[in-house]
Structure 1
Amino acid sequence: MNDRASINQAPQMRREDRAEAYMRVRAASEALCAPLCIEDYGLQTADFASPPKWHLAHVSWFFETFLLEPYLPGYVIFDPAFRTLFNSYYEQVGQFHPRAERGHLSRPTVEAVYRYRAHVDAAMRDLIAGADEAQWLAIETRLAIGLNHEQQHQELLLTDIKQHFSVNPLRPAYRSDLATPRQGDALPLAWQGFEGGLIDSGFDGEGFCYDNERPQHRVFLNPFALANRPVTNAEYLAFVDAGGYRNPALWLSDGWATVQRLGWGGPRYWERIGGDWHEFTLGGMRTLDLNAPVSHVSHFEADAYATWAGARLPTEAEWEHAAGAVPNEGNFVDADLLHPQTAVGEGLVQLFGDVWEHTASAYLAYPGYRVPEGALGEYNGKFMSGQMVLRGGACATPAGHVRGTYRNFFYPQERWQFQGIRLAQDLT
């Protein structure tokens, strides 16, 4: 049974299958940490990137707080102090340790965090097997949220580790045994047109989705075209060489201020060595693959590049409409590349996997959206201010986790995720 079926679909699944899905997701998180040394678990090199140890504990805190405490009679909390240490941002639950200070926590030890995970896992098995039928629907709903939440943190584990390792002068590899990305010439840039009109946007089906994907609603689209593939490193390098980072006319005001303040001159993780461009990857330093999709660019950079290229970024409704006829397949974490690779195929390729694709859409509520009641309502709704939507998943995203309606969101200056660019054009 694949992850997509076992986690996000089949509301009438047997409890044994739910338990199996739970343990598979939990094991995947620990497998991602297997290449780490003990010294790596507490690293925090930026306010926005958390230590691996914190991720492992926080996802366990989520199950303990939202499932075990309210639904498992007699459950014994592993450590009351963890309620604050590993709460991320849930104000209605209580206080939380500052995000920027998660790397200050040498204790609890890594060994204690793994014991915490084992404690939660044993209790979750008991809950899934023995919960009263009258409560099962609520438990099953929260279980699906918890598993998808842990998958999100699996991606964050990888991107945070990449950030942490990148500041080490040794440029260590997270893994030296990664599969080799596909090589070859990039597909010629082409455009696929869409007539537009009234379309349905948002989730309206069976299985799991986040609350921010609902309700489905009608959107009017003018005729538009999407590029057949993401922008490549070679194309973005042409922007860099043409002085793109020195020309304020190309940038949004806040974007230009960010370039000046942070001294940007290219994508995150690009580095010139001996006159040639290299890129830091989860497999260590590599020569920049000019034919692969550019990644680790912010919304500001994506918008500036699109302006320079005489195009624009797609809206999220345009992207979703175009993706509706495209199979949800691609270079996800399961491919074991942990890096974008050269596009192949016909039509619209790499809409799913490889790189999250920037859109021109602010992260806002859909018409008719209501924030769910309780602390779980803080998961998405309270962040609908000042952030931008990205679509499609990336090479660090678990397969089956995303769908065509999935809305990721980040602040426009952030670029430590595998974020790339697909261009759009008006056809009017």
Structure 2
Amino acid sequence: MAVALHEARDHTLALFDCFAASGMADPSKVPRLPIVNPPLWELGHIAWFAEWYILREAKTSAPNAAQQPSILLNSDAWFNSNTVPHAARWSLDLPSPAEVKTYCRRVLDSVLEKLRCAGDSDATLYPYRLILAHEDMHGEAFAYTLQTFGITPPLQYPALDAAREASDEIRFSGGSVEMGSRANDGFVFDNEKWAHAREVKPFSIDASLVSNALYREFVVSGGYQENQLWSATGLAWLAQHAADAPGGWRRDGSDWYELRFGIPVALAPDEPVRHISLHEAQAYCAWAGRRLPSETEWVYAAQSAHPAFRWGGLWEWTASRFTPYPGFSEDAYREYSAPYFGTHQVLRGASFATSPRLRSVRFRNFYAPQRNDIFVGFRTCSL
């Protein structure tokens, strides 16, 4: 656990330094977008979260739940995401980057010291695992913020496996599948509670994600202009963004390229298409006579251990709205899942920027349907 906490913090700071080198340590220099946070605020929030649950011994995220004072005066007024509105994070009188880094170091040192005296039960380690997962997720958020702003990351992310061919499909006969986590599984996120069986009808699913080549056919055939392919919310998204291709795609005559962290890269036909909103994935499926897999179908395929079923390069949209499982109850971080039930969509898998510690068939990611800035693609399905 101590090694993992060190690794996560080193990664966080390396990513933050990329923003700092680009002049974005100053929140006033950061574009005000609803999909990002000022990196300095986010760095402070990561340390605050760890201090809140470990050093200040808060049992929940409720206001005034902390049993100990912060080591940084005004930290609650600056870095509590539950009380500091998103739009206000650009105008706070935040400490300097050096002061925030000092806060990060002091919190981590104290957390590690407390960890040395902790027991090894799941209950004792729960808050440590929570803050580790929280920092890992913010590390991925930092990565897609680097992509959004066209800033080179501090490491070379791995290349993705080749995406599917048109006939690359797996047939499953259906049956029962266990969804969610069990009480004795160790650390679980609250939206994984609790394990329950679901029945799956026979279905066919792509072995891997839709490729750039296949999606380009949709683009050049005029898919973005065929209104009948798009849902009402998809059409509203199209009108708002004036989209005619995936995020980051650019055309140069008959050739296409995409922007990877600000660098133009020739569009690789066999790589999975990325930076796709749910609306775009649904429109492609309508064009191709296919559909998105449900969350249950995705889990069934992933748990099957079928050698051709590949996942983990990009997050994957599913056809399932993000809703609670039977037996759901909020955990210490009360705002992790519950506020997003019914408005967000389930994504499954992982991306190249996801920490290996978070890669699990049980993990339920969730985003608003319009998000295409994250590292996300999709695969298709049929009966």
TM-score calculated relative to the size of structure 1? 0.80
Mapped to 1, the partners of 2:197 and 2:273 lie a distance apart of 33
Is 1:125 equivalent to 2:82 in the alignment?
A: no
- Work out which of the residue numbers 20, 23, 36 in structure 1 matches 2:3: 20
> Counterpart in 2 of 1:39?
23
TM-score between the two structures when normalised by the length of structure 2: 0.89
Cα distance, 1:184 vs structure 2: 7.5
Q: 1:197 aligns with which of 166, 175, 185?
A: 175
SS in 2 for 1:271: strand
Structure 1 unmatched runs, 5+: 1-17, 90-94, 166-171, 328-345
> What is the distance in 2 between the residues matched to 1:412 and 1:74?
38
1:69 equivalent among 56, 78, 85: 56
**1:405 aligned to which of 362, 365, 379:** 362
Give the residue type in structure 1 aligned to 2:371: E
Q: State the AA in 1 paired with 2:128.
A: L
Aligned to 1:342: none
Q: Determine the C-alpha separation between the residues in 2 that align with 1:269 and 1:221.
A: 36
Match of 2:209 in 1: 230
- The 3 A distance-change label for structure 1 pair 137 and 182 is closer
User: Once the 2 structures are TM-superposed, how far is the Cα of residue 300 of structure 1 from its aligned partner?
Assistant: 0.8
Gap regions ≥5 residues in structure 2: 59-65
Relative to structure 1, the CA distance from residue 84 to residue 185 in structure 2 (aligned partners, 3 Å threshold; closer, same or farther) is closer
Q: Shift in Å at residue 138 of structure 1?
A: 4.2
How far did 1:159 drift? 0.4
Number of residue pairs the alignment of both structures matches: 371
**Distance apart, 1:126 and its partner CA:** 2.3
1:369 aligns with 2:328: yes
Contact preservation (8 Å) 1:313, 1:424: yes
Q: Is the 8 A contact 2:211 2:272 kept in 1?
A: yes
Distance 2:256 2:279 in 1: 22
Q: In the aligned structure 2, how far is the partner of 1:197 from the partner of 1:74?
A: 49
Q: CA deviation at 1:274?
A: 5.0
Aligned to 1:415: 372
Structure 2 residue 151 is the aligned partner of structure 1 residue 141: no
Q: Does 1:113 align with 2:100?
A: yes
- Paired residues of 1:45 and 1:163 also in contact (CA < 8 A): no
Deviation at 1:307, TM superposition (A): 1.1
Post-superposition offset of 1:127? 1.5
Counterpart residue number, 1:263: 242
2:148 aligned partner, one-letter code:
Q
Is the aligned partner of 1:347 residue 2:308?
yes
Deviation at 1:186, TM superposition (A): 6.1
Aligned mates of 1:413, 1:393 — CA distance in 2? 19
Q: Say whether residues 1:243 and 2:204 are aligned partners.
A: no
Describe the SS at the equivalent of 1:256: helix
What whole-Å deviation, never above 9, does each CA across 1:40-89 have from its counterpart, x for those lacking one?
33324411211222222111111111121127x99652323221221123
Mark the CA change 1:183 to 1:117 in structure 2 (over 3 Å): closer, same or farther: closer
How far residue 120 of structure 1 moved from its aligned partner, in angstroms, is 0.5
1:85 counterpart = 2:74: no
Equivalent residue, structure 2, for 1:318: 297
Percent identity reads 30
1:79 match: secondary structure = coil
Aligned 8 A contact 2:149 2:261 in 1: no
Q: CA deviation at 1:148?
A: 0.6
